[in-house]
Amino acid sequence: MLIAGNWKMYKTASDAADFCRALKARLAGLDGVDVAVCPPYPALAAAVQVLADSDVAVAAQNVHWESDGAFTGEVSASMLRDLGVYGAIVGHSERRQHFGETDETVARRVAAALEAGLWVIACVGELEQERGAGETEEVLRRQVSVLEAHDQLVIAYEPVWAIGTGKTATPEIAEEAHALIKSIVDVPVLYGGSVKPDNATELLGQPNVDGALVGGASLEVESFAAICEAAATL
């Protein structure tokens, strides 16, 4: 079971250091769950430094497919490795929506990160109108088909209509989507989409749900720790 916190564009380096110190103390002695935080780029080094002597991993929110070059604003896997970063999110719906990420570029980023030794959380999920039109399976098959199974690859199913909206997929919807994804690529699948302490146990208790990619609830130590503790009981 993996619980990863995606901080998006929140927390400065000093904020991250304070958060990580508090989280490390709060989760001391917790067994049965893997935990990761995913700060914005400027806060990665601070998080790595504070969490170096803990079991909490640090991952980036994106990674480029080239090792270096004229790609202004991008960061390579080797740069992340040099910082001590353990992995990266790739293909989050906000990257697809706002920054032109495609299935092809997601596949290239994933392959490069895995080749460099990072573990990857690759995100997939349907829009609200796609679900309403009965296209969920088609969308997931298209997005997942560009990925290949790898022992350092995890997929996150994040129904776009449930991200930052307060809406959450029912456990049954999540289970159905996770089972479909695993039938295409046999890797662990996390659920992402308004995961909170009060719905975590029911969502994480589904047979094909292997953890969570947590957004807003990962920005507060208590709520994020509560989700981690819920996962550890399952």
pLDDT of 92-101, one tens digit each? 999 999 999 9
What is the percent of the chain with per-residue pLDDT over 90, rounded to a whole number? Answer: 92
pLDDT tier at 165, thresholds 50, 70, 90: confident
Give me the number of domains the chain comprises.
1
Residue pLDDT, tens place only, 37-59: 999 999 999 999 999 999 999 99
Using alpha carbons, list the distances in angstroms from residue 49 to 39, 78, 99, 199.
Answer: 13, 18, 30, 32
Does residue 196 register a pLDDT over 80? yes
Query: Which residue type is seen at 45?
Result: A
User: Which range of residues forms the domain containing residue 201?
Assistant: 2-232
158 is catalytic: yes
92 is catalytic: yes
Structure confidence at residue 77 (pLDDT):
98
Residue pLDDT, tens place only, 59-96: 999 999 999 999 999 999 999 999 999 999 999 999 99
Quote the CA–CA distance of 37 and 20 in Å, as a whole number.
Answer: 9
Structure confidence at residue 161 (pLDDT):
83
Domain with 104 in it: what CATH number?
Answer: 3.20.20.70
Nearest to 18 by CA among 220, 224, 230: 220
Catalytic residue among 92, 94, 101, 229: 92
Structure confidence at residue 162 (pLDDT):
79
Catalytic residue among 126, 158, 175, 229: 158
Quote the CA–CA distance of 1 and 234 in Å, as a whole number.
Answer: 9
Residue pLDDT, tens place only, 107-117: 999 999 999 99
